[in-house]
Structure 1
Amino acid sequence: MPINTFREDETTKEVIKIHTIKRLFRYMINYKKEVISVLLLMSIIVSVNIINPILIKIAIDNYIAFDNYNGLIRIGILAIIINLISMVCIKRRIIIMSKVSNEILLTIRQELYTHIQKLAFNFFDSRPVGKILARIIGDVNSLKDILNNSVITLIPDFITIIAVAIIMLLMNFRLALAALSMLPFLIFIMNYIQIKAHKRWQDFRNKNSNMNAFTHEDFSGMRVVQSFAAEGQTSDTFEKLLQEHKKSFISAFKLSNIFWPIVEVSWGVGTVLVFYFGVRLLGTGTITVGLLVAFTSYISMFWHPIMNLSNFYNQLITNLAGAERIFEIMDIEPDIKDVDEAKEMEQISGKVQFKKVSFEYEKNIKVLDDVSFTIEPGEAIALVGPTGAGKTTIINLISRFYDIQKGDILIDDVNIKEVTIESLRSQMGIMTQDTVLFSGTIKDNIRYGKLDATDEEIIQAAKSVYAHEFIENLEQGYDTEINERGVRLSVGQRQLIAFARTIISNPRILILDEATSSIDTKTERLVQKGIEALLEGRTSFVIAHRLSTIQKANRIFVVADGKIIEEGTHRKLLEIKGLYYNLYKAQV
């Protein structure tokens, strides 16, 4: 499969922008009451803004012109009251929309996170973790301004523009045409800019994703970086990515920043034309001074929302690339999912069958080729063979981490594709050589295998793998805090904790993939006793390169070139003197 690294930009499918916008705003359906209340508040605010110039006109033409100070005071008090009401409405609308936009962001992030957890391993195999994090965190955060301003800017300002345009046309048709003369030019230029700007913001998102991917990869492997004194090399790589990130941002921002000067120029030209024609009309008696003053106020009220809308439009173009990247992930169908009529897997007894199974990660490159075998309940099966022979693939297919291209896999005579994934995997215990611990206490990490486990069950699980003694010797015992990598513990200690976590889940089928590879020989002898007790009555699959650990297995499968080429007990395979014999002699 193609692998995307921090050195490559992600490819984003071209989608119709209006579809992305509709899909994004669909999240507001669950907040109808809040949105309606904000719109009502905005209607009050807009009404006050529209009334203010009319009050100025009345004050000039009806009161100031005739020295009517009592009337001027009354209209001044009215203006103060309605503007105070407007201020209260503004504060309230900000609080409501901030809450709504944040809750929508939480919903989108949760949906994205939940969806990603359902995706198959090949999704994670094909891209760095840092690029996935960039979508969950950065791209989701970029949507906040769009969601917030869509209600408090888009709808009210659009209504304001229409209302003010109508009022201006009614007040004086010729002055209104002069004020609006630059609008067609503005619309044309903005449409041209958004096409170019959107592509540049997509590029910026990709560069940001590349930088996140490298940072995550570098910090995760910091021990290796420092061990090889490669800090200078990684710093150079980061600086290169940072420069690409900076250049892409400047390129996109320069183009997007043209929005405001164009609006201001259009605003200024429209205002000049209004004053030019307005002053000439004053001499004809067609308009009054109050009307001209009110008209100039309406010009500001007309172009200021256009400035806001152009700002919102700019935000939309800037951040729409983030929404596209989010929805692109959400639209990926999980390769591994329950069929429509999937049933719950009953308690497994442990019979496992492979019937002519073939599998490939990449097209036309077979990893398993026509593999068949039957495992009886309670059997302990060891898988040995060269690296890349297909051993780990076999156990991944049993857990249905991948779907096969050909053949059938049955557990207790039931095809694993016919049961729910959760009911299947919940009855399996899987432990690999890549030990993953989570930040928290040792007790929390063991309890991860059984969330309702008591402290007594946790201690018993640790004792069964001989981890109890070293845990008790830690400063805070089972309550010792560890980080996600467990750096305070040795590799062997981390594996013992992971082993206790697997044991406490009480699996019906146990899978151990090089589970004791990092445990010293003395500790391994102790753990082997725990393993033997654990394997009793359970079907188990053990992958081990140290052949001394699997001699007691019921059967040993020798895997090479995607096939099982030898099968039998340790003694029988030595008698055959095939590949297993050669591997064993090489180790001995």
Structure 2
Amino acid sequence: MTEGATCSKSKRHGTKSSFKRFLRYVRPHIWLIVIAAAGGIIKFTVPLIFPRIMQHFIDDVFSSNSVLSASEKIYQLNYWTLIIVGIYTFLWIPGTYVRHYFTSKAGNQVTFALRYDLYKHMQRMSASYYSKHQSGGIVSVLMNDIALVSNLVGNALTNIWMDGVLVIALLFILLRMDWVLTLASLSIFPFYLVVSKKIGRKVKRNSHMVQDETEEMSAHVQEKVGGYSVVQAFTHEEFERKRFRNEAAKLLNFQLQSGMLSSLNTTVTGYLTALAPIIVVWVGCQRINSGVLTIGELITFYAYLGSFYLPINRFAELNVVYSTSMAALERVLHVMDETPDIQDTPNAVECTNVRGEILLKNISFSYEENEKIIKNMNLSIHAGERIALVGASGSGKSTLVSLIPRFYDIDCGSVCLDGRDIREYKVHSLRQQVGIVPQETILFSGSIRENILYGNPEASEEDIIAAAKAANAYDFIEGMPDGFDTVLGERGAKLSGGQKQRIAIARVFIKNPKILILDEATSALDSQSERLIQEALDRLMVGRTTILIAHRLSTVVNADEIVVMNKGKIIEKGSHIQLLAQNGAYARLYHTQFDEAIGE
């Protein structure tokens, strides 16, 4: 993207159906599904042998017209019993194991691939995406929705082949036995199809509502659990309980509707498949009375009919599973269709051998259309220079520094690093050159060592110790029970604010970036912690281009240049001495803080 270009924020959406896109994840594991389906066919076709043998015993072996002796009848009974037991032992047991194991394996592997791709995609998303979506909702899609999608493998893709083969095989057997009874058994199908289609649409629509509400509720719970101290400090426990109850009741209502629709589907299809055998028996008795059918044939036909309606009932259940899973899949694919605002251009190059010279030329930026946060700004920062940004809250300081590592893209103008527009660098390599020490320190729940290594996973133990010492963190780390292996709570809950900040500084030390951004790095700290952190920051800034944001002007007096911002514009620029001599906005702000400090 060249100078003056306007960044596009459009989204691309796939034109293929959701199910076809899902099949791309299934294709590498299709052999698992084929094996599972084959095992399922064995599991459900082996029992079909028994009704035929039972007919043989009823009509030929133990009938009043049988010519067999008593010993021959016992031989026939023992012979066929051993055959059936052998078939079940050596065919049905392996088939059943294969059906369930390979179904589980295929479902879990497809789920893994889809979840991993979604997570990778989420990592590529820009800051604008995370500012619009709550983290709990994002996690809900990643975990809950994909878990529902896995049912498409476990139930749909496996059962449809297994049950399809079973239905065709049974239909062939039933037609061979008596085509009139077969047509009678199929009389319920038109009603079955109508019910399945109508209920399926309603189930899918309601599933969307259940999953949307689950996402919203997950986001709310995660937010409040993370901010439990604020809830308790303001004694809002009762308020939050009522709010949670209302959200849970709303979700319950949707879940009850889902349960009602599922129950209705099961009841109606169950009624239809229960009614059909009654019709078959009625017609069968008429045919026995006419001498066309034997009692053994009717009993055998009835036994096969039960096996015939078993997959039919599973198809009804599959209708609900499919509708629910497709609703979840559409939500997952909706996230995957979100296009990151920040992407590498086709000819992007690696950002290496950086000097650290930064040039902002006529840049403007807005989070929302027609609401400019940065307005036609120009600023030149020499390599190795320390620049301080000061100004009232909301003047655009933090927004400005977020443009340098391309957390956001400017609307117009250009941000250049070493004479090249940063949009011409690969995003990953650009960000490797930028180290950030934010006002709100974010640590993870692993060990201190893991948090420091986040800056450079390839660093040695000596590098870790050197970084900790440079950040004035080594002494307090060694004083902890497990030293560098001490496991921190969520967001570093076991450390004080100053300790967390020094770990964050060590993390930047070990990253060794050429550009450093310090965003209120010493705010809200006691004087002892501030002194230790300021010493660490002074070491960190050596040889790096540094941009520091500070409300406390005592921390910026030694900057090479101080930039005063107001409403997205630069209103003053110069050294501390020069700005005091101008007696403008900076001088008024400095004297106000000085007077307040004297008053204290």
Q: How high is the TM-score relative to the length of structure 2? A: 0.92
Q: Corresponding residue for 2:288?
A: 282
Report the AA paired with residue 344 of structure 1.
E
Share of identical aligned residues, percent? 34
- Offset, 1:14: 12
8 Å CA contact 2:373–2:396 kept in 1: the answer is: yes
Once the two structures are superposed, residues 503-552 of structure 1 have per-residue CA deviations (whole angstroms, 9 ceiling, x without a partner) of 12111000101111133223323332332232222111000101100111
- Offset, 1:303: 0.8
- Describe how 1:391-470 pairs up with structure 2 within 5 A: 391-470=397-476
Q: Corresponding residue for 2:49?
A: 51
2:150 corresponds to 1:167 = no
Q: Secondary structure at the match of 1:286?
A: coil
Report the AA paired with residue 534 of structure 1.
L
CA distance in 2 between counterparts of 1:531 and 1:425 reads: 20
CA distance in 2 between counterparts of 1:558 and 1:124 reads: 29
Q: Corresponding residue for 2:29?
A: 31
Q: Which moved more, 1:99-108 or 1:428-437?
A: 99-108
Q: Which moved more, 1:546-555 or 1:467-476?
A: 467-476
CA distance in 2 between counterparts of 1:112 and 1:14 reads: 15
Q: Corresponding residue for 1:497?
A: 503
2:118 corresponds to 1:112 = yes
- Offset, 1:24: 2.5
1:193 to 199, 220, 233: 199
Once the two structures are superposed, residues 541-574 of structure 1 have per-residue CA deviations (whole angstroms, 9 ceiling, x without a partner) of 0001011001111111111111111111111111
Once the two structures are superposed, residues 48-92 of structure 1 have per-residue CA deviations (whole angstroms, 9 ceiling, x without a partner) of 233332333333333333245133433333222223311221112
Q: Which moved more, 1:228-237 or 1:141-150?
A: 141-150
Q: Secondary structure at the match of 1:485?
A: helix
8 Å CA contact 2:13–2:337 kept in 1: the answer is: no
1:202 to 201, 208, 212: 208
- Offset, 1:167: 2.3
Q: Corresponding residue for 2:40?
A: 42
Q: Indicate the RMSD between aligned Cα atoms, in angstroms.
A: 1.9
CA distance in 2 between counterparts of 1:259 and 1:192 reads: 10
Report the AA paired with residue 513 of structure 2.
P
Report the AA paired with residue 77 of structure 1.
L
8 Å CA contact 2:395–2:567 kept in 1: the answer is: yes
Q: Which moved more, 1:469-478 or 1:367-376?
A: 469-478
Report the AA paired with residue 39 of structure 2.
L
8 Å CA contact 2:38–2:99 kept in 1: the answer is: no
Q: Corresponding residue for 2:333?
A: 327
Stretches of structure 1 that go unaligned for 5 or more consecutive residues are 1-12
Q: Secondary structure at the match of 1:440?
A: coil
- Offset, 1:499: 1.1
2:330 corresponds to 1:318 = no
- Describe how 1:61-460 pairs up with structure 2 within 5 A: 61-65=59-63, 66=66, 67=68, 69=73, 70-84=75-89, 85-460=91-466
Q: Which moved more, 1:19-28 or 1:488-497?
A: 19-28
8 Å CA contact 2:38–2:95 kept in 1: the answer is: no
CA distance in 1 between counterparts of 2:463 and 2:335 reads: 40
- Offset, 1:367: 0.6
Report the AA paired with residue 509 of structure 1.
I
CA distance in 1 between counterparts of 2:567 and 2:145 reads: 43
2:566 corresponds to 1:560 = yes
CA distance in 1 between counterparts of 2:357 and 2:14 reads: 48
CA distance in 2 between counterparts of 1:234 and 1:162 reads: 56
Q: Secondary structure at the match of 1:155?
A: helix
CA distance in 2 between counterparts of 1:147 and 1:253 reads: 22
Q: Secondary structure at the match of 1:257?
A: helix
Report the AA paired with residue 380 of structure 1.
R
CA distance in 2 between counterparts of 1:241 and 1:37 reads: 44
8 Å CA contact 1:25–1:147 kept in 2: the answer is: no
CA distance in 2 between counterparts of 1:362 and 1:168 reads: 67
Report the AA paired with residue 547 of structure 2.
F
CA distance in 2 between counterparts of 1:47 and 1:71 reads: 23
CA distance in 2 between counterparts of 1:412 and 1:243 reads: 57
CA distance in 2 between counterparts of 1:357 and 1:348 reads: 22
Report the AA paired with residue 247 of structure 1.
N
- Offset, 1:15: 10
Q: Secondary structure at the match of 1:117?
A: helix
- Offset, 1:151: 4.0
Q: Corresponding residue for 1:541?
A: 547
Q: Secondary structure at the match of 2:458?
A: coil
Once the two structures are superposed, residues 277-336 of structure 1 have per-residue CA deviations (whole angstroms, 9 ceiling, x without a partner) of 101110212112221111101211111111111112211112322211111111111111
CA distance in 1 between counterparts of 2:35 and 2:321 reads: 24
CA distance in 2 between counterparts of 1:292 and 1:424 reads: 78
Q: Corresponding residue for 1:583?
A: 589
8 Å CA contact 2:38–2:162 kept in 1: the answer is: no
2:529 to 511, 523, 530: 523
> Cα gap change, 1:502/1:184 in structure 2, threshold over 3 Å: closer, same or farther?
same
- Offset, 1:342: 1.5
CA distance in 2 between counterparts of 1:537 and 1:466 reads: 19
CA distance in 2 between counterparts of 1:562 and 1:293 reads: 86
- Offset, 1:489: 1.4
CA distance in 2 between counterparts of 1:26 and 1:485 reads: 38
8 Å CA contact 1:64–1:72 kept in 2: the answer is: no
Report the AA paired with residue 236 of structure 2.
A
Once the two structures are superposed, residues 171-201 of structure 1 have per-residue CA deviations (whole angstroms, 9 ceiling, x without a partner) of 2121111111011101101111111121111
Report the AA paired with residue 208 of structure 1.
T
8 Å CA contact 1:338–1:421 kept in 2: the answer is: yes
Q: Secondary structure at the match of 2:492?
A: coil
Stretches of structure 2 that go unaligned for 5 or more consecutive residues are 1-11, 595-600
Q: Which moved more, 1:161-170 or 1:176-185?
A: 161-170
Q: Secondary structure at the match of 2:301?
A: helix
Q: How high is the TM-score relative to the length of structure 1? A: 0.94
CA distance in 1 between counterparts of 2:181 and 2:516 reads: 83
Q: Secondary structure at the match of 1:558?
A: strand
8 Å CA contact 2:480–2:486 kept in 1: the answer is: yes
- Offset, 1:225: 0.8
Report the AA paired with residue 402 of structure 1.
Y
Q: Secondary structure at the match of 2:376?
A: strand
